[in-house]
Structure 1
């Protein structure tokens, strides 16, 4: 589950991680009030106005309707109001959103961190995530902050550092000091960085994060170390331990079909292809998607109905797939181990009848428990549903459907 920047920063503060202070605003009037508070509190006439969406590249992205960037530095109350008006309600298009973009429902009006002081200001990059190759958490960091880390890794890989942490042991003091040293810090900034990294890692563990990224990680001119931006993703499987965090979910940022699938406990991910697929089991789903590509099609989705599928969940999955106008054929590939094939077949038949006239080809391959009964149900239903026993037969039918589309 992804969080907005303003939500993530509030959580980090609970772990004593210094962040760029600010206020989440839904209207230009709220943004103006936030600016007044920031100016009074910090004595600066500068403030940063940031669009809040679940995507990176906001600073380079543009609001489609007004043409301004998703992150703007305001120098006055009038500019804050103007930027808020032009960003809120607009569609922000970034390299991560694609052409569709995302509608901005909130902005974050934050304090200016680029004030003058006795030392040089610097921007770093730091993220924490699980390295599945060795079963350890990894802290990835670089002196090249404030830019796309992919470009840094490609052009100057020697500037990317990694520190692995055994999950059960926690971050050791020498590791935090090593990170601060590799970032070229000394004195007060060195001490502040070791504290920052230690507290940030504690937040990563305590919040059950799947990913935590700070870019830029900022060294201010007075040697304070501050999270200027924050991307935080929580492990969905851990939300049972964090009911308060589950309340932070912003459904408006998610694909509507994926949200609907979640209501039926279906594992659904929308893709860009032309062949919808419904499968039970993630491994079989991946194999089915490979088979679709080999047959000349492109998967339109990943849909795992799980081992407890019944007629109701199958019908729900069927309806979700059909909402995608790009779908030219549907392949249902079920292995009846726990789930009974006849239940799946009945769900397909019910969905077909309830949805009325369906023009696109539907190929159903059922193997395992009650597979023969399932095939009989489909064959005798009178519906335009093609059944297959072998995977090769299903592949051939998919090929025909794609070629004819």
Structure 2
């Protein structure tokens, strides 16, 4: 479960990590009064997607009326498909240095790892690996003070700054363990003339440990409206930001399909595992969900085991006859009743593929306006 920035900061502050003075607003009431206390501010949209700064989700203001106008504008926008329903307004401080700190789980080593860099800030993803310090943490002894001192020396920090950041590292690990976190990140941790403060924060908690941190931490619903609808139908579905709608039957084959699209220079609009053994009605409902996201093309990849290829073919024909499809559709069928499924599609003038790479290259070509020996709904 991802937390909003303001929620992550409340947890950090309650555990001794200093944060910027701020307040959450769902409207403009009280904004002017807040600026009377703070002066210049940063107005930050509270959404769960990353990259909000580059997407226009953070604005600055020095006067109350300017802040009110910008709060109103942000609350009327969407950031990467997420509606902005609240903003965090924080004091603006003079920054001398930006540090990156995070603790997460290393899946390969199966243990926590602390990441630290003096090159913190908006483009941390572009920082060369050699500029990021990694310190694996033995969970049986935890993060010890000597380790944080070693890290600050590696970062070239000295004096008061080094002491404060070493202390924050220790408290960050305590938060990581206390809340069963998968990620706790401060980016940037800003150094001012007098103190070190968390200027931004991210936290992702383990859903399976919710019984330990609820109700202290409110449950945050991350699913979009489409994801909720798919979940109600028992379909594993995640919205992505690509162009090609994908339906497959099984998590492994779905992930492989997404990887193949990426390998051939395209990207998926979604992850959809329609499951094994889905009925005609369930398959048709899954296809309708895909079309509702308005992809530029549709790729159906079915390896029939308990899922029957003829049921998938009938479901597609049903959807085709219901909707006026205006996008290219490519279908790969192989497995149980594949001959019958192929025959059903051929009756509608639709060719199905057996080779997945051929299906992937065809759907990309069609989406880009190229030709292919496959039925194209144009």
Asked if Structure 1 and Structure 2 have the same fold, meaning a TM-score greater than 0.5 normalized by the shorter chain, the answer is yes
What is the CA-CA distance between 1:356 and the residue it aligns to? Answer: 4.1
What is the CA-CA distance between 1:361 and the residue it aligns to? Answer: 4.7
What is the CA-CA distance between 1:149 and the residue it aligns to? Answer: 1.4
CA contact (8 A) 2:48 2:222 kept: no
Provide the secondary structure at the position in 2 that maps to 1:341.
coil
What is the CA-CA distance between 1:278 and the residue it aligns to? Answer: 2.2
Check if 1:84 corresponds to 2:56. no
What is the CA-CA distance between 1:236 and the residue it aligns to? Answer: 4.6
1:62 aligned residue: 56
TM-score (norm 2): 0.77
CA contact (8 A) 1:47 1:110 kept: yes
Provide the secondary structure at the position in 1 that maps to 2:322.
coil
Using the alignment, how far apart are the partners of 1:324 and 1:3 within structure 2? 25
Alignment of 1:112-127 (within 5 A): 112-114=92-94, 121-127=96-102
Question: Out of 79, 82, 91, which is 1:111 matched to?
Answer: 91
Check if 1:193 corresponds to 2:187. no
CA contact (8 A) 1:13 1:19 kept: yes
What is the CA-CA distance between 1:9 and the residue it aligns to? Answer: 1.0
Using the alignment, how far apart are the partners of 1:296 and 1:5 within structure 2? 34
Alignment of 1:285-324 (within 5 A): 285-289=254-258, 299-307=268-276, 309-311=278-280, 313-324=282-293
Question: Out of 361, 373, 378, which is 1:400 matched to?
Answer: 373
Provide the secondary structure at the position in 1 that maps to 2:142.
coil
Pairwise CA RMSD: 3.9
Q: Deviations over 1:137-181 (max 9, x none)?
A: 22221223334113432xxx5543221223454222222222233
Distance verdict in 2 for CA 1:394–1:139, change over 3 Å: same
Distance verdict in 2 for CA 1:181–1:274, change over 3 Å: closer
Unaligned 5+ residue runs, structure 1? 64-69, 115-119
Using the alignment, how far apart are the partners of 1:274 and 1:57 within structure 2? 19
Using the alignment, how far apart are the partners of 1:332 and 1:325 within structure 2? 19
TM-score (norm 1): 0.73
Q: Deviations over 1:274-299 (max 9, x none)?
A: 65432222222233345667899864
Equivalent residue pairs, number: 365
What is the CA-CA distance between 1:333 and the residue it aligns to? Answer: 0.7
Unaligned 5+ residue runs, structure 2? 364-371
Check if 1:141 corresponds to 2:135. no
Using the alignment, how far apart are the partners of 2:123 and 2:278 within structure 1? 42
Using the alignment, how far apart are the partners of 1:47 and 1:295 within structure 2? 45
